Chains A and B, each alone.
Chain A
Amino acid sequence: DTAVSQTPKYLVTQMGNDKSIKCEQNLGHDTMYWYKQDSKKFLKIMFSYNNKELIINETVPNRFSPKSPDKAHLNLHINSLELGDSAVYFCASSQDWGYQPQHFGDGTRLSIL
């Protein structure tokens, strides 16, 4: 009964490949997020969706494309992976778009060879 679940937990792949990370939340929340945490542990928002609508699109290479088929799911597809994409990617959700705190998934550790 995990609240925010991401798959896979680990992703090891070669430069130039395309990969996807999936996220699902069973909390009934309206808003979902993708964050990137680099080796220095800085947590930076990438995207946010509210009720399947994209509301935050930070300065992220267009090789990264989020997709929200419904408000319980938010996936992240990455094309042409680069060494600098190595990081931990966290999915999170919050009750609504506003003042609520966020609940994080366990993260996906992406390593580019």
Chain B
Amino acid sequence: QKEVEQNSGPLSVPEGAIASLNCTYSDRVSQSFFWYRQYSGKSPELIMSIYSNGDKEDGRFTAQLNKASQYVSLLIRDSQPSDSATYLCAVNLLGTNAGKSTFGDGTTLTVKP
């Protein structure tokens, strides 16, 4: 089993719809969770961090974390064509590997006008 798994894409949604991106992780002691967006040919950029169970909202983006189910998701409301990108889930562990982010393979999102 991979340490961090994301729902296989590509994911295509119409403009204005809600895009839902999912991520599961294998290590129960994981403490920090991040969503990065990567446009084609560009570097990853942080869009959301979440550290405790529940929802965290920032504009059109909502991150949801459920540590009991080892699950973190990203919802994008009112999706725009400019949201078309690959979204990477990253998970940080505790202890000696505390600073190491393990990345999922990414989910490519296309928002169609």
Please list the residues of chain A having a beta carbon within 8 angstroms of any beta carbon in chain B. 31, 40-45, 48, 50, 55-56, 90, 94, 96-107
Contact = CB atoms under 8 A, between A and B. Distances in A.
A90 B44 contact: yes
Given A41-B105, A43-B103, A99 B46 contact: no
How would you classify the secondary structure of chain B's contact residues: helix, strand, loop or mixed?
strand
Given A41-B106, A99-B51, A101-B49, A56 B99 contact: yes
Interface string B40-78: 001111100101000000000000000000000000000
A85 to B, nearest CB: 19
B98 interface: yes
A23 to B, nearest CB: 12
Contacts of B38: 41
Interface in B57-113: 86, 88, 90, 92, 97-103, 105-106
Interface of B: 31-32, 34, 38, 42-46, 49, 51, 86, 88, 90, 92, 97-103, 105-106
A10 B2 CA distance: 31
B43 A97 contact: no
Contact of B99 (A31, A40, A44, A106): A31
Nearest to A44: B103
A101 B34 contact: yes
A83 to B, nearest CB: 22
A99 B43 contact: no
A53 to B, nearest CB: 12
Contacts of B105: 40-42
Contacts of A55: 99
B46 A101 contact: yes
A50 B103 CA distance: 20
Given A41-B105, A41-B106, A43-B88, A98 B43 contact: no
A44 B3 CA distance: 12
Given A31-B99, A48-B99, A99 B92 contact: yes
A104 B92 contact: no
A45 B46 CA distance: 17
Contacts of B98: 97-99
